[in-house]
């Protein structure tokens, strides 16, 4: 054969198939990759199952899993069938002959190309849309469970007279079904239209009719289904108006119908529903008429009606009917919103009482005696003294206390004592040698409780510990002190095997221990080890010799993580707190049931309403579901987590909550009855902070019951910013034992203050009885201050503290050297018609960078004191003792003006003594001798008082004298006062 290449020939290169060895290798690698991915998926599933089984909540795992699987397959299959059927039907209705046009000739190539793969293409498309739809539907497992297990609220909305459960449980599910129907219809319409176009049923440029009769009928039915769904949407929108949010009268997330909704939108939705039904019928009629003329006209009419009736008409009603007389038009709907919001947040029974804010009592001695009965004033601030606990009770670097300690109640000689409490938890950052064995096998747990009296400090300003040392001992008795589960325990540990753990250290050296509880997952099984090696991306778990018989892996170890995992339908409070109960350390966790479907109740964002000056710097104190918008909340569950075994128990707290009853039907056996709570545990349960913060935020507007007052905005309050720091965030609520005016004895309470919107004077004081198990638990009391007179609010009181000349000078001296002053919680106590403010002041000084209580600020009725102890400050304010200035030295008052200060030996001697005391104080700070520092501060205060008394006498020539360089200044009469800002000095 001749050479057809027209050029020189060369050696041929034969491209052959890969060798058998290469093919085998590639096939093996492919199989291994598939098996690896499959085992990775299996490891996640298997470890989850093992964990839920270990905490005895496997029913939560199985119920959730089967619900997700069921929704995935049902809705995935429905979507696949809907799209696949319409593709098949469009192909079945294709014309037998295609038109002779360039458009159809071009499409012939595509038809011929896909002809051999039509079945596979149909399967692939339907499988893809089915997978996507199924995955989306599986995420609606909460919506499904609430719908199928919904319990009636027993309350009806004021507009449609339907039970609240319809809006909370039913309407969300109907909206999901409607959204799924729209998605299925739109995808089916697109798929059918493309198939008709590909096979000639629809033509764009070809001559003749643009669509065959079969294509017209098919697409019209799909469009009719779409319009029918739109009619259903219009009908559901009517009920949606009851839970619709909008901004109204400076209130974000107002919920419910207003005048324009009830009188314009509601009839408009009804009219649009009727129009959509007629339009759908016209689309279905094309099966017989084979013309789109009427359906298109009907669809256009529906769109035009939606613009005119659904948009323009309500705007006209709002402009010409509502705005000219808004107060009268909106008042009935505001009244409904007020009632619903107060009921949904549990504030409908809040007791608002008028309170003068000023005492009429002239017997100051009697007032001093009344203070002890009015409150057990806590001067140990749990949000400041954590470093002091750390310094004095840490014992080892691998222990640590939380940033914010907790306040609880413990009995002392038969009397409840407010107690600041913290756990000595594991701190892996303090382990000297960081390696896998130390991190996960040797250092596994914290040890012991540390507690101190909340109302007392010792002579050096340190906490008076009631439980301390290592092992801890004191007034709490005998209990299991090892802490394997805590707020700072975020890393997994492997315990109980051949590797011993470090228990604690004492004078005789390190003690070792081996975990004895059955918590965690057993790693003796090689399958379990392999699964956790994959799940935790740690291959050493698979082959480490430190793992053997009895080894168990502990993880999900923080109280919030454990409760949230076993009850994923709950919202967890931002602050779990420990308590010693029946010989065990138990973490107590408050949990909430919520919904955003309570009709007419205004919504709130949990992350915003629970933020304060503490959460601004401590993220662990924030609510987990930060962006959750809710308009109904109940503290329906109290949970406990054992610090040693990790055992989780859920207790039904709100026995009337329909949301909790719904979830208990969905997950039977997971929540124990309230009667199962022991008396010893009940003694430590308290009203939760996050619920209180949500309620106080709502009460800034919803404390009023009158619609006209609400609309006028004249009674709007605000939560004041924390005056003790510069965070600019809201003041946190404070736990304290106090007696409100209508109470006969003190009760453990949670308190806060309110100021008028945009102003700093006090408008109200709020307290809720926080002592569980009492008849008044949860009762909200609000003392409303008069609007005709002004009473100082927290910021003004703080400014008053700082503006007192003597106080400012003392604080400047406390800040001397490298010392820092920290203001503690500013507590407010109602007392005989007036308000008592108390604020502890702490100093971090010298080489000891932890705060010690140095002073207590007290003010009442315009009288202010700044003394070393609370008793001294109260005595001075109420004139019980030491309230009057010291008399001048004998012979000092001669009736003649004294000489200038520079020539006045009394002033000069006092200033010299002050300088000496100041220098001694600074030296004591450097040496860490707090006893000497306390004596020096007392001497300094005495010297300054003597200097002020001596200098207050008129001087010849009006001279005020001078102060020796470097001496503490006793400000002369008429000279500028020291800086009064918190940062002065």
Residue of higher predicted confidence among 563 and 985: 563
pLDDT at 416 over 90: no
pLDDT at 768 over 80: yes
Q: How confident is residue 95, by pLDDT bands cut at 50, 70 and 90?
A: confident
Range picked from 214-218, 481-485, 865-869 for highest mean pLDDT: 481-485
pLDDT at 978 over 60: no
Taking the CA atoms of the chain, what radius of gyration do you get in angstroms? 38
Distance separating alpha carbons of residues 265 and 241, to the nearest angstrom: 8
Half-sphere exposure of 475 (CA within 13 A, CB side): 16
* pLDDT on residue 29: 81
Q: How confident is residue 803, by pLDDT bands cut at 50, 70 and 90?
A: confident
Distance separating alpha carbons of residues 801 and 476, to the nearest angstrom: 38
Alpha carbon separation from 641 to 49, 55, 485, 646, 704 (Å, rounded): 20, 11, 8, 6, 40
Express as a percent the part of the chain with pLDDT over 70: 86
Report the DSSP pairing between strands 734-738 and 747-756. antiparallel
pLDDT at 14 over 80: no
* pLDDT on residue 2: 38
Range picked from 77-81, 830-834, 909-913 for highest mean pLDDT: 77-81
What residues does 827 pair with on adjacent strands? 838
Instruction: Average the pLDDT over 168-177 and give the result.
Output: 96
pLDDT at 927 over 70: no
Token pair 């299996």: residue? 42
pLDDT digits (tens, 9 = 90+) for 216-247: 889 999 999 999 999 999 999 999 999 998 87
Instruction: Average the pLDDT over 397-420 and give the result.
Output: 88
Q: How confident is residue 962, by pLDDT bands cut at 50, 70 and 90?
A: very low
Range picked from 32-41, 204-213, 351-360 for highest mean pLDDT: 351-360
* pLDDT on residue 279: 92
* pLDDT on residue 897: 40
Alpha carbon separation from 357 to 171, 873, 964 (Å, rounded): 48, 21, 45
The dihedral built from the CA positions of residue 38, 43, 49 and 52, taken in this order, carries a sign that is negative
* pLDDT on residue 77: 96
**Cβ 168 vs Cβ 150: under 8 Å:** yes
Q: How confident is residue 892, by pLDDT bands cut at 50, 70 and 90?
A: very low
pLDDT digits (tens, 9 = 90+) for 812-826: 888 876 788 889 999
| Structural tokens at position 837 | 């403010």
E strand or H helix at 145, and its extent?
helix 141-149
Q: How confident is residue 931, by pLDDT bands cut at 50, 70 and 90?
A: low
Instruction: Average the pLDDT over 567-593 and give the result.
Output: 94
SS3 of 677, please? Answer: coil
Instruction: Average the pLDDT over 541-562 and give the result.
Output: 92
Range picked from 89-93, 188-192, 713-717 for highest mean pLDDT: 188-192
* pLDDT on residue 748: 93
Distance separating alpha carbons of residues 621 and 969, to the nearest angstrom: 43
Residue of higher predicted confidence among 819 and 743: 743
pLDDT at 958 over 80: no
Express as a percent the part of the chain with pLDDT over 90: 52
**Cβ 751 vs Cβ 738: under 8 Å:** yes
pLDDT at 893 over 90: no
Residue of higher predicted confidence among 17 and 903: 17
Give the closest residue to 284 by CA, choosing from 293, 297, 295, 271: 295
Token pair 């005789």: residue? 508
pLDDT at 456 over 80: yes
Q: How confident is residue 982, by pLDDT bands cut at 50, 70 and 90?
A: very low
Residue of higher predicted confidence among 205 and 13: 205
pLDDT at 515 over 80: yes
DSSP E strands, 296-424: 351-354, 375-376, 399-400, 406-412, 415-423
Burial (Cβ within 10 Å: 0-12, 13-18, ≥19) of residue 91: middle
DSSP E strands, 488-583: 493-495, 501-506, 509-513, 521-522, 552-554, 571-572, 577-581
Instruction: Average the pLDDT over 628-642 and give the result.
Output: 94
Distance separating alpha carbons of residues 711 and 41, to the nearest angstrom: 57
Distance separating alpha carbons of residues 674 and 658, to the nearest angstrom: 15
Indicate the Cα dihedral angle 717, 718, 720, 726, nearest 10°.
-150
Range picked from 107-111, 204-208, 364-368, 949-953 for highest mean pLDDT: 364-368
Q: Running DSSP on this structure, what letter comes out for residue 163?
A: B
* pLDDT on residue 81: 96
pLDDT at 620 over 60: no
- Which residues, 6+ apart, have CB-to-CB distance to 497 below 8 Å? 441, 523, 546, 547, 548, 549, 550, 551, 552
Instruction: Average the pLDDT over 79-107 and give the result.
Output: 81
* pLDDT on residue 364: 77
Instruction: Average the pLDDT over 959-973 and give the result.
Output: 36
* pLDDT on residue 271: 93
Q: How confident is residue 520, by pLDDT bands cut at 50, 70 and 90?
A: very high
pLDDT at 963 over 90: no
What residues does 426 pair with on adjacent strands? 399
pLDDT at 777 over 70: yes
Residue of higher predicted confidence among 30 and 68: 68
pLDDT at 203 over 80: no
Residue of higher predicted confidence among 789 and 979: 789
Quote the mean pLDDT of the chain. 84
Range picked from 606-615, 720-729, 858-867 for highest mean pLDDT: 858-867
pLDDT digits (tens, 9 = 90+) for 312-361: 988 999 888 888 888 889 899 999 999 999 999 999 999 999 998 888 77
162-176, 404-418, 588-602: which has the minimum mean pLDDT? 404-418
């Amino acid at each position: 054969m001749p050479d057809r290449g027209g050029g020189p020939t060369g050696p041929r290169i034969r491209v052959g198939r890969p060798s058998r060895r290469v093919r085998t290798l590639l096939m093996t690698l492919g199989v291994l990759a598939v098996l690896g991915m499959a085992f990775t998926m299996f490891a996640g599933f298997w470890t989850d199952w093992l964990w839920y089984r270990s905490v005895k909540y496997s029913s939560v795992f199985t119920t959730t899993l089967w619900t997700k699987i069921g929704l995935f397959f049902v809705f995935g299959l429905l979507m696949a069938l809907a799209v696949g059927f319409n593709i098949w039907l469009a192909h079945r209705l294709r014309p037998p002959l295609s038109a002779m046009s360039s458009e159809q000739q071009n499409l012939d190539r595509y038809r011929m190309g896909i002809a051999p793969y039509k079945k596979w293409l149909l399967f692939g498309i339907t499988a893809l849309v089915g997978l996507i739809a199924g995955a989306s539907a599986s995420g609606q497992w909460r919506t499904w469970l609430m719908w199928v297990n919904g319990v009636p609220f027993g309350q009806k909305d004021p507009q449609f007279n339907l039970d609240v459960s319809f809006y909370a449980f039913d309407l969300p599910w109907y909206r999901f079904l409607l959204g799924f129907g729209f998605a299925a219809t739109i995808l089916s319409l697109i798929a059918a239209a493309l198939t008709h176009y590909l096979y000639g049923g629809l033509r764009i440029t070809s001559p003749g009719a643009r669509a065959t009769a079969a294509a017209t009928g098919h697409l019209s039915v799909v469009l009719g289904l779409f319009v029918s769904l739109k009619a259903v949407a219009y009908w559901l929108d009517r009920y949606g108006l009851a839970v619709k949010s909008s901004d109204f009268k400076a209130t974000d997330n107002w919920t419910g119908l207003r005048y324009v909704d009830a009188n314009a939108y509601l009839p408009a939705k009804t009219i649009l529903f009727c129009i959509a039904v007629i339009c759908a019928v016209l689309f279905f009629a094309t099966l017989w008429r084979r013309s789109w003329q009427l359906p298109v006209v009907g669809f256009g009419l529906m769109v035009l009606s939606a613009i005119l009736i659904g948009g323009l008409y309500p705007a006209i009603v709002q402009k010409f009917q509502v705005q000219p007389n808004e107060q009268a038009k909106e008042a009935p709907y505001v009244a409904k919103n007020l009632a619903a919001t107060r009921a949904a947040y549990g504030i409908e029974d809040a007791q608002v009482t008028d309170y003068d804010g000023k005492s009429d009592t002239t017997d100051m001695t009697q007032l001093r005696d009344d203070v002890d009965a009015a409150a057990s004033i806590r001067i140990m601030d749990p949000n400041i003294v954590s470093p002091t606990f750390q310094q004095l009770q840490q014992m080892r670097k691998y222990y640590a206390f939380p940033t914010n300690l907790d306040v609880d109640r413990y009995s002392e000689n038969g009397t409840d004592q407010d107690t600041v409490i913290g756990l000595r938890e594991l701190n892996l950052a303090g382990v000297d040698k960081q390696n896998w064995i130390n991190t996960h096998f040797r250092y596994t747990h914290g040890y012991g409780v540390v507690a101190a009296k909340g109302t007392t400090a010792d002579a050096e300003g340190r906490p008076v510990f009631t439980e301390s040392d290592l092992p801890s001992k004191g007034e709490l008795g005998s209990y299991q002190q090892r802490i394997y589960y805590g707020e700072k325990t975020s890393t997994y540990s492997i315990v109980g095997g051949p590797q011993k753990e470090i228990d604690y250290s004492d004078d005789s050296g390190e003690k070792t221990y081996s975990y004895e509880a059955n918590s965690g997952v057993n790693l003796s099984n090689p399958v379990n080890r392999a699964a956790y090696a994959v799940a935790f991306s740690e291959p050493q778990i698979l082959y480490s010799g430190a793992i053997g018989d009895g080894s168990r892996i502990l993880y999900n170890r923080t109280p919030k993580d454990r409760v949230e995992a076993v009850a994923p339908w709950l919202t967890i409070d931002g602050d779990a707190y420990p308590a010693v109960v029946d010989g065990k350390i138990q973490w107590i966790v408050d949990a909430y049931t919520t919904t955003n479907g309570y009709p007419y109740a205004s919504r709130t964002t949990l992350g915003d309403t629970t933020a304060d000056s503490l959460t601004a710097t401590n993220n662990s104190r924030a609510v987990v579901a930060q962006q959750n918008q809710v308009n109904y909340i109940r503290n329906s569950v109290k949970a406990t987590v054992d610090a040693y075994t990790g055992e989780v128990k859920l207790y039904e707290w709100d026995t009337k909550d329909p949301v909790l009853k719904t979830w208990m039907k969905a997950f039977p056996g997971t929540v124990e009855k309230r009667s199962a709570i022991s008396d010893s545990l009940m003694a430590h349960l308290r009203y939760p902070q996050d619920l209180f913060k949500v309620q106080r935020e709502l009460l800034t507007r919803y404390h009023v019951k009158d619609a006209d007052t609400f609309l006028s905005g004249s009674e709007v309050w605000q939560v004041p910013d924390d005056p003790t720091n510069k965070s600019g965030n809201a003041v946190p609520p404070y736990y304290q034992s106090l007696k409100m005016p209508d109470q006969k004895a003190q009760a453990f309470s949670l308190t806060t203050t309110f100021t008028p919107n945009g102003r700093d004077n006090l408008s109200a004081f709020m307290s809720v009885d926080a002592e569980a198990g009492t008849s008044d638990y949860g009762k909200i009391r609000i003392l409303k201050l008069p609007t005709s007179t002004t009473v100082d609010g927290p910021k003004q009181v703080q400014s008053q503290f700082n503006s007192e000349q003597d106080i400012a000078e003392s604080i400047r001296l406390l800040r001397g050297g490298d010392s820092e002053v920290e203001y503690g919680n500013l507590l407010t106590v109602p007392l005989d018609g007036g308000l008592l403010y108390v604020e502890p002041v702490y100093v971090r000084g010298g080489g000891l960078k932890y705060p010690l209580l140095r002073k207590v600020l007290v003010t009442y009725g315009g009288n202010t004191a700044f003394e070393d102890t609370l008793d001294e400050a109260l005595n001075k304010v109420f004139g019980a003792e030491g309230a009057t200035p010291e008399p001048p030295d004998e012979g000092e008052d001669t009736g003649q003006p004294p000489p200038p200060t520079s020539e006045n030996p009394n002033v000069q001697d006092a200033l010299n003594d002050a300088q000496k005391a100041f220098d001694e104080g600074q030296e004591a700070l450097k040496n860490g001798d707090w006893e000497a520092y306390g004596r020096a501060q007392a001497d300094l205060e005495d010297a300054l008082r003597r200097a002020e008394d001596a200098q207050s006498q008129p001087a010849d020539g009006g001279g005020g004298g001078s102060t020796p360089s470097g001496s503490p200044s006793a400000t002369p009469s008429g000279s500028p006062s020291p800086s009064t800002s918190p940062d002065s000095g």
